[in-house]
């Protein structure tokens, strides 16, 4: 499967390089200013670099907290909060720590949309992260200009917090696809011009919130997953509802209907944002393994890129264990490998932050075993 040209990658790279050069010069000027007339510390440049990376991590946390804060202002309710691979999730009214990862993302704050409000409020929730980064960055700059700090560490901490925050504002606020994932600005731009996309935005959060509390896709109303009258599956929002509809059918073990939904996306798949294209490939490959199992189609779907993506995800996502289990049992005929993957999937499901999805995935693995027994 050919990959589309991704100009957003080059835009992001250009912003990062230019901003990195600016920050480098900025820090050198500050270090030179602070060390004039005093003993020079050769470790100052190293400290400045380390503090910059630490500040960037802090601003990632600030960004996700911003989504939570402005989401709460808009009437949303907390579901989960993730930074890198550590997730805080509400489980039976208690907050618990879980491990989870989505390649290409540094964090994620997911909330349950407010009940009875249509259209769903989306501006503050999506812009909350950028707004919070901007508030913290401008506050740091004001402190630098208003107060005459002479301490090296005081100046560098404030300066790097401001710089890293501004970088996140730029790379999240300017609409683009970053590391294969649409950023906040891109989401806002899409939602603003597309009524159906706003329904899908509500649906994504609603489904995640219900699954986190233990509800399965098959138990949710079918009318939620009605496909658009004028579909544009090249848009990741339109594509996502077809993916959810396929998952709804899959949870009911309706393979033909699930395959039909996924086939709607096929002509547009090469131009989708990388994360969504790879998720589509995973589900399309699973349907192929459970259905016709054509060797040329399996090979076309199971690319090196997809293998790498699945390899990064399988330690955190039960669905990827399900795909690997099906491949091991139905293509490789390796029952020992399949048994190991099933055991790993069960352990992973026990600590999954998404309980409803985990229950579905384990049942689908059992379905694979049944299909293999009939083959």
**CB neighbour list of residue 215: distance below 8 Å, 6 or more residues apart:** 356
Which of 8, 117, 148, 57 shows the shortest CA–CA distance to 65? 57
pLDDT at 33: 55
**Mean pLDDT within 21-48:** 60
What percent of the chain is helix, strand and coil (3-state, nearest 5)? 70, 10, 25
Section 302-325 average pLDDT: 96
Tens-digit pLDDT profile for residues 90-111? 888 889 999 888 887 788 999 9
How far lies 282's CA from each of 133, 194, 221, in Å? 35, 27, 25
Structure confidence at residue 2 (pLDDT): 46
Domain boundaries, the chain: 7-76+113-188, 215-374
pTM, to two decimals: 0.85
Do 62 and 134 touch, CB atoms closer than 8 A?
A: no
229 vs 186, higher pLDDT: 186
Gyration radius (Cα) of the chain, Å: 23
The answer, yes or no, to whether residue 112 has pLDDT greater than 50, is yes
Distance CA(121)–CA(114), nearest Å, equals 8
Q: What is the pLDDT of residue 177?
A: 81
Residue 25 has a pLDDT of 57
**3-class SS string, 186-224:** HHHHHHHHCHHHHHHHHHHHHHHHHHHCCCCHHHCCHHH
User: Is pLDDT at 324 greater than 90 in this prediction?
Assistant: yes
**Count of Cβ atoms closer than 10 Å to residue 291 Cβ:** 14
Under the banding of pLDDT at 50, 70 and 90, the label for residue 37 is: very low
β-strand pairing of 77-83 with 181-182: unpaired
- How much is the pLDDT for 369? 93
Res 288 pLDDT > 60: yes
pLDDT per residue over 140-176, tens digit each? 989 988 887 777 788 888 888 998 899 899 889 989 8
- Rounded to the nearest 10 degrees, the angle between the axes of helix 152-173 and helix 123-146 is 150
Q: What is the dihedral of CA 59, 64, 70, 73, to 10 degrees?
A: -130
**Helices (H) and strands (E) in the chain — how many of each?**
14, 6
Across the range 306-313, mean pLDDT stands at 96
């Amino acid at each position: 499967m050919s990959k589309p040209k991704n100009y957003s990658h080059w835009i992001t790279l250009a912003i990062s390089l230019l901003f990195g050069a600016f920050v480098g010069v900025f820090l050198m000027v500050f270090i030179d200013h602070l060390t004039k007339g005093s003993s020079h510390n050769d470790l100052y440049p190293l400290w400045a670099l380390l503090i910059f990376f630490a500040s960037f991590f802090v601003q990632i946390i600030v960004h996700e907290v911003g989504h939570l804060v402005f989401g709460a202002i808009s009437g949303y309710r907390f579901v989960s909060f993730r930074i890198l691979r550590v997730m805080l999730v509400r489980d039976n009214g208690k907050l618990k720590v879980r491990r989870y990862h989505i390649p290409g993302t540094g964090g994620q704050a997911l909330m349950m949309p407010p009940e009875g409000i249509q259209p769903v409020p989306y501006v503050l929730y999506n812009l909350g992260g950028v707004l919070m980064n901007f508030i913290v960055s401008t506050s740091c700059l004001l402190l630098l200009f208003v107060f005459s700090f002479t301490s090296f560490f005081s100046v560098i901490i404030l300066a790097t917090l401001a710089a890293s925050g501004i970088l996140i504002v730029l790379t999240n606020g300017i609409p683009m696809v970053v590391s294969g994932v649409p950023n906040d600005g891109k989401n806002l731009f899409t939602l603003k011009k597309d009524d159906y996309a706003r329904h899908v935005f509500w649906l994504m959060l609603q489904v995640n919130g219900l699954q986190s509390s233990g509800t399965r896709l098959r138990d949710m109303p079918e009318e939620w997953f009605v496909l658009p009258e004028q579909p544009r599956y090249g848009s990741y929002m339109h594509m996502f509802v077809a993916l959810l509809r396929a998952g709804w059918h899959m949870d009911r073990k309706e393979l033909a209907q699930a395959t039909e939904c996924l086939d709607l996306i096929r002509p547009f798949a090469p131009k989708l944002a990388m994360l969504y294209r790879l998720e589509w490939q995973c589900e399309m490959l699973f349907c192929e393994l459970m259905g016709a199992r054509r060797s040329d189609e399996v090979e076309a779907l199971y690319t090196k890129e997809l293998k790498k993506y699945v390899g990064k995800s399988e330690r955190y996502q039960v669905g990827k264990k399900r795909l690997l289990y099906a491949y091991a049992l139905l293509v490789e005929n390796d029952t020992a490998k399949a048994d190991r993957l099933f055991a790993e999937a069960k352990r992973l499901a026990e600590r999954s932050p998404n309980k409803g999805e985990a229950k579905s995935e384990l049942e689908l693995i059992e379905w694979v075993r049944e299909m293999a027994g009939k083959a």
